[in-house]
A and B are shown apart, each in its own frame.
Chain A
Amino acid sequence: MAAPKRGIWSQIIRSQVWKSIFRHAVPKDTRGRALAVLNNVFLHLHPVRIRKSGIALGYTWCMGGLTFFLFLVETFTGLLLMFYYRPTLEYAYMDIVELGEQIPLGIMRELHRWGAHAMVISVWLHMLRVFLTGSYKPPREFNWVVGVILLVLTLLLSFTGYLLPWDQLAIWAITVGSNMARATPFLGHEGPGASLLKLGDVALVHAGDDARFALLAGRFVGAGALLRFYVLHCVAIPVVAAILMAVHFWRVRKDGGISGPM
């Protein structure tokens, strides 16, 4: 605490309030720098010390961190969009139109959409980097598995969000995508083996109770699908993804930090 005795700034950082929030001085020595990371809930995701090779941009490409950052951007912008958007057939489309027309300088929808595209790309590149550096090798096998699930969740987040604007692009992309579920073996009414599941003449798997019906809450992309996708997009998948992200970061630390040569 070798701050000059004069000036408003020194007054502030000597005050009780400031000291109650920031438990130590501006990091100037090794001890201070270690404390800066240890005493902060966000920074303590990191270790205090780290392999020099592991934090070179040329090694990590910053892609994992960028993916996490984009997840935060999507969460924040998505939350703001939720104030304006109502997931019903009568409101959905017009709410999106009004986002563009009524709100001065509104680029939240743009940030959300471009951030989503960017996140899909960054998560693929992160996977490519992890593969090329052999970072899935023991003891990190399980964390790679968690990463693959997170990759799938990223795609599902984007897919469920695709429907929400309720325009032609949305409804038909989801129609094409969800038509695949029709063909699920045994669980889709046009899938192989589904016709074998019968009780006498009664088909157990038909268009009104198969995998696609469960996904869309109906026989086609309609009001039920919109609400269902909205809930999945805003609550269910983000919660699961956040939990798995916590596991993912925790395991990075527990498996010996960012990978490096043994």
Chain B
Amino acid sequence: MEYFKAVINWITKPEILITASMIIFTGLLFTRKIWTPLWAKILFALGAVFMVLSMTDPNFREIVIKPDNVPIVAMLFLVGFFVWYGLYKGKANDDRMAQGLPPKEVEDNEKVLVWPNLVYTELICLVIFSFVLAVWGIGLKAPLEQPANPAESPNPSKAPWYFLGLQEMLVYYDPWLAGVVFPGLIIFGLMAIPFIDVNPKGSGYYTFKERKWEISIFLFGFVILWVLLIVLGTFLRGPNWNFFGPYEYWDVHKVLVLNNINLSEYFWVMLLKQGLPTQWWLREIVGFVIVGVYTFVLPVVLAKTVFKRFYLRMGPARFYIGALLFLSMVALPLKMYMRWLFNLKYIIAIPEAFFNI
């Protein structure tokens, strides 16, 4: 058991967890054989067994049964279930279409009366959920901590749980990016989806095959970059925003060596063996080139090569807006890996103007 816990503690390290999740996620997306009820039951049972066994550990129990964290545990299972369910229905439709049949939704295309068909469903849902909410409200007391004291900050201080993905971003990006620019881009990017996605197929029925790219990118953003980071921030981030495994005690005195280095230092000091230039623009010139190429040159290169067919189908405006949004999304995992592999702190660091990337 102790050995098992040590393994889990190791697996849940951010770099291992995120890497493994991305590999498993990609694997699951493209092995459509296992989107079946049987596999879902197996995975769900494994998850349930993991939860039950982990409950025996005091450190795990302490954080999971905090009343405010109960919905997050529930969310984990709900998101897992619904992502599976949506893909399962998509697969069923894809199989039908492979046989030359229309999607299941086409068969049920005749109109029925709202009363009783829909109104009764709504009433039943309403009653069931009122009941669930009442039981939840009676069973779990809403927490209340000590009175607010501006002089005493708790450690760790966490944002509300649905923003913990953004707080996790703060480890890798400065507040102006992680707290302002990226959230703005997330909102703008979500709004832009219907105008960027020109694929006419898959409107009004579940499918995966006809919308591989759109669904994969969306699920990557939602499941990995949003939900997984929330789970990480809730259960695995402790005092001083240090990482703690699920079975680890939250020790305030855990010290981590921070030896992150800016790109400018890598370039001038380690590569060219000289001091940093005094002018900021010269000091950060490599960073400017890299960020400039990533933001302005890469989309053009992609349009001309790998994504040429998308470019032709979407036209320049849609393609470049979509590419910029996509590159901003991928910028987070990229910076994570630069941090984990090279201890890279900033690509561009201009403390004179609070401008760090």
Contacts and interface: CB of A to CB of B under 8 A. Distances in A.
Chains A and B form a bound pair: yes
Given A50-B111, A58-B89, A114-B137, A162 B194 contact: no
30 contacts: A36-B119, A51-B110, A52-B108, A52-B112, A53-B205, A100-B141, A100-B144, A109-B142, A111-B133, A113-B142, A114-B133, A121-B75, A132-B206, A133-B205, A137-B197, A141-B195, A144-B191, A168-B148, A172-B157, A179-B179, A180-B175, A180-B179, A180-B180, A183-B174, A188-B180, A192-B354, A193-B355, A195-B353, A259-B203, A261-B102
- Among A137, A145, A166, find the residue whose CB has the most chain B CB atoms closer than 10 A: A137
B111 A49 contact: yes
Given A111-B133, A121-B71, A188-B176, A176 B162 contact: no
A167 B152 CA distance: 12
Nearest to B146: A168
Interface string A136-150: 111011001100110
Interface in A194-226: 194-196, 220-222
B71 A172 contact: no
Contacts of B53: none
A34 B119 CA distance: 12
B143 A184 contact: no
Interface string B196-226: 0100111111110001000100100010000
A236 interface: no
A153 to B, nearest CB: 11
A196 to B, nearest CB: 7
Interface stretch (B27-35, B120-128, B336-344): B120-128
B162 A107 contact: no
Interface in A100-148: 100, 107, 109-115, 117-118, 120-121, 124-125, 127-129, 131-138, 140-141, 144-145, 148
A140 B141 CA distance: 41
A50 B82 contact: no
A63 B118 CA distance: 14
Contacts of B103: 261
Interface string B276-288: 0000000000000
A66 B108 contact: no
B203 A158 contact: no
A173 B158 CA distance: 5
- Those 6 A-B pairs whose CB atoms lie nearest each other, nearest first: A180-B179, A183-B175, A141-B194, A110-B137, A117-B71, A53-B108
A62 interface: yes
Given A66-B125, A144-B194, A155 B162 contact: yes
Chain A interface size band reads: 35 or more
Nearest to A190: B354
Nearest to A47: B114
Interface of B: 68, 71, 74-75, 78-79, 82-83, 85-87, 89-90, 102-119, 121-122, 125-126, 129-130, 133-134, 136-138, 140-150, 152-154, 157-160, 162-163, 166-167, 174-176, 178-181, 187, 190-191, 193-195, 197, 200-207, 211, 215, 218, 222, 350, 352-355
B148 A56 contact: no
A101 to B, nearest CB: 11
A136 B79 CA distance: 20
A168 B145 contact: yes
A125 B84 CA distance: 12
A131 B129 CA distance: 24
Nearest to A73: B133
Interface of B is mostly: helix
A185 B180 contact: yes
B144 to A, nearest CB: 5
Contacts of A52: 108-112, 117
A246 interface: no
B82 A62 contact: no
Interface in A246-262: 259-262
A199 B104 CA distance: 66
Interface string A61-79: 1100110011001000000
Given A110-B136, A132-B215, A169 B143 contact: yes
B130 to A, nearest CB: 8
Nearest to A192: B355
Contacts of B90: 132
Given A46-B114, A49-B114, A134-B204, A125 B160 contact: no
A20 interface: no
Given A55-B117, A114-B71, 17 more contacts: A37-B114, A47-B114, A50-B118, A52-B111, A65-B122, A96-B144, A107-B138, A110-B138, A128-B82, A137-B204, A168-B146, A168-B148, A176-B158, A183-B174, A183-B180, A185-B181, A191-B354
